[in-house]
Amino acid sequence: MRPLIIAIDGYSSCGKSTLARQLASALQYKYIDSGAMYRAITYELLRRKINLDDLAAIREVLKDIHLDFKYDPSSGRSVILLNGEDVEQAIRSWEVSEAVSQVAAIPEVREFAVAQQRRMGKQRGIVMDGRDIGTVVFPDADVKIFMTADVKIRAQRRWKELQPLHPEISLAEVEKNLLERDRLDTQRAVSPLRKAADAFVIDNSHLTEPQQLQMAMDYVQKIMHNLPIEKTTIS
């Protein structure tokens, strides 16, 4: 059986990365966090103090960017490398979160990132999460999962993540940020966030991590073994 390409898409703070990491670990596949790629690009633009409306300057910066992932044995997770530098923590800042959807909507940035994502997926045996993995990056992916959750629950999860580093951020600010990111992600002209017609939907508003992993694994196993899939499991 040849290794699969598994695409996981969905809204911000739906736990896509958590599920993708756990699924990759269970299957012994490589995990690729496409969201981290856009965050790394955003981080580099902000670090260089590039005006995000200056497309010429952004194109020049993209020429200098190389992205890759490495396995960190201390945490058991893959971390993103920006020109060889581990920026996994730096890209999770509030400043990057506020700007990443704007950057990800730039056609040149998406073209750059998609090319790198496809390069990484050539050997198959991967789990990649993002906004357009099952619709644009790998429209022929063997498995497509679309994740969603109530925005208030997503905001609560994200707020708890931010508290240790940004205790001044309010829950209301986080929810406002998520709603704006949803708007930008779904309405952008290039590769908008949408559910692939053949995607398996997981609403994890009230699911535990083990429950959502089990749902995903059950679905992947059916695909692997060509078992029938009930129409009611696909939304």
* Segment 2-39, tens digit of pLDDT: 899 999 999 999 999 899 999 999 998 988 889 899 99
- Known binder of ligand: residue 35? no
Type and span of the H or E element at 120: helix 107-121
User: Is 191 one of the annotated binding-site residues?
Assistant: no
Query: Has 14 been labeled as part of a binding site?
Result: yes
How does residue 227 score in pLDDT terms, banded at 50, 70 and 90?
Answer: confident
Percent with pLDDT over 70 in the chain? 96
In this predicted structure, what is the pLDDT of residue 75? 65
Look at residue 77 and tell me whether its pLDDT is greater than 90. no
Query: What confidence score (pLDDT) does residue 76 get?
Result: 64
> Residue 166: which pLDDT band, with cuts at 50, 70 and 90?
confident
Instruction: Specify the DSSP element, H or E, that contains 47.
Output: helix 34-47
pTM of the predicted structure, to 2 decimals: 0.84
pLDDT, averaged across the chain: 91
Q: Are 128 and 8 a contacting pair, CB within 8 Å?
A: yes
12 labeled part of a ligand binding site: yes
Does residue 232 carry a pLDDT above 50? no
Give 96-150 pLDDT, tens digit per residue. 999 998 999 899 999 999 998 998 888 899 999 999 999 999 999 999 999 999 9
Q: Are 69 and 29 in contact (CB under 8 A)?
A: no
The reply to whether 16 sits in an annotated binding site is yes
Q: Rounded distance, CA 229 to CA 161, Å?
A: 36
Known binding residue 13? Answer is: yes
Average pLDDT over residues 219-224: 94
Q: What percent of the chain has pLDDT over 90?
A: 75
Average pLDDT value for residue range 208-226:
94
CA-CA distance, 114 to 101, in Å (whole number)?
Answer: 15
Domains of the chain from N-terminus onward: 5-233 (3.40.50.300)
pLDDT of residue 229: 76
The amino acid at residue 150 is D
- Specify the pLDDT at position 30: 87
Residue 10 counted as an annotated binding residue:
yes
pLDDT of residue 233: 44
Position 216 pLDDT exceeds 60:
yes
Does 88 have pLDDT greater than 70? yes
Q: Report the residue count for the chain.
A: 235
Task: With a cut of 90, say whether residue 54 has pLDDT above it.
Answer: yes
Q: Half-sphere exposure (CA, 13 Å, Cβ side) for 7?
A: 25
**pLDDT at res. 190:** 83
pLDDT given for residue 235 in this prediction:
39
